[in-house]
């Protein structure tokens, strides 16, 4: 299916690795241009090369989105390079384990800055271009907002905020024909996940235990599967879909897990 994204410029935060890189690669397959925003210039360059090597188009700008002014600079650099923005994927963030019991207000606020505030800020600065292009926004979120996890109050709050902003922006921006949706992730195999798994006592057993709790096929979601849904939501093929929280999680969040295998 042609998603109708040829030559469209899509800003992807956290686009150098994991889910963001998956989105950039799928966009490239559809003929779009991924404008990758990430904090590390070398990682960004490697991501661009990986897209170009398979015949796609990508570009990058290094920016630390938690710093004042960096979101605006990233948007302005993209517009200077391409003259337009046709879509935005808010993806950058990290589950940093700021809990109620062991955390404090300062760390809580800092986590919100890492995981929520730049979603608002980069969308705010990209909005004038999205109005012109009648573009789309996709926020990447986590099931933690709905299920809880334990020991991660700030990340859960940030993801609750992402969900709320998705619905709020869908209402506010409908008059501009801008659609806003979210893709909700549960257990997705990313480099960051692999690093975490390597820190536990028995990585293989822990992975089996996690995957056995995922109803569909007892496996983790891939970055490409998240990216496929994200790109669909960016495309005119989803032309009457807005304000939705779409779970790409093998049924983890909502299906009865009575079929768990031990």
The pLDDT of residue 143 is 96
Complete DSSP assignment for 61-90 = EE--TTSTTHHHHHHHHHHHHHS---EEEE
128-152: pLDDT as tens digits: 999 999 999 999 999 999 999 999 9
Question: Could you say which residues of the chain have pLDDT below 70?
Answer: 257-262
The fold of the 9-188+223-247 domain, in CATH, is Rossmann fold (3.40.50)
Query: Is the distance from CB of 155 to CB of 216 less than 8 angstroms?
Result: no
| CA distances, 211 to each of 22, 201, 219 (Å) | 21, 17, 5
Query: Is the distance from CB of 122 to CB of 165 less than 8 angstroms?
Result: no
Query: Is the distance from CB of 89 to CB of 10 less than 8 angstroms?
Result: yes
64-95: pLDDT as tens digits: 999 999 999 999 999 999 999 999 999 999 99
The pLDDT of residue 261 is 59
What positions carry a catalytic annotation? 155
pTM for the model:
0.95
The pLDDT of residue 197 is 84
Domain ranges of the chain: 9-188+223-247
Complete DSSP assignment for 144-174 = HHHH--SS-HHHHHHHHHHHHHHHHHHHHHG
């Amino acid at each position: 299916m042609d998603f109708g994204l040829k030559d469209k410029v899509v800003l992807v935060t956290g686009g150098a690795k994991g889910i963001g890189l998956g989105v950039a690669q799928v966009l490239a397959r559809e003929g779009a241009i991924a404008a990758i925003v990430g904090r590390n210039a070398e990682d960004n360059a490697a991501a661009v090369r990986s897209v170009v090597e398979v015949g796609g188009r990508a570009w990058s700008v290094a920016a630390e989105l938690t710093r004042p002014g960096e979101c605006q600079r990233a948007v302005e650099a993209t517009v200077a390079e391409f003259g337009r923005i046709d879509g935005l994927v808010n993806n950058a963030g990290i589950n940093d384990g700021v809990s109620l019991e062991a955390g404090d207000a300062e760390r809580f606020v800092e986590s919100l800055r890492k995981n929520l505030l730049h979603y608002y800020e980069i969308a705010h600065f990209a909005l004038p271009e999205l109005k012109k292009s009648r573009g789309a926004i996709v926020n990447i979120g986590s099931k933690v907002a709905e299920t809880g996890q334990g020991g991660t109050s700030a990340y859960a709050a940030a993801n609750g905020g992402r969900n709320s902003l998705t619905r709020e922006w869908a209402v506010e921006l409908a008059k501009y024909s801008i659609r806003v949706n979210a893709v909700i992730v549960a257990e997705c195999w990313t480099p960051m996940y692999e690093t975490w798994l390597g820190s536990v006592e028995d990585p293989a057993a822990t992975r089996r235990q996690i995957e056995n709790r995922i109803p569909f096929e007892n496996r983790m979601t891939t970055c490409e599967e998240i990216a496929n849904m994200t790109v669909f939501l960016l495309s005119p093929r989803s032309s009457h879909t807005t304000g939705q929280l779409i779970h790409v999680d093998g049924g983890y969040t909502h299906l009865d897990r009575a079929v768990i295998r031990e």
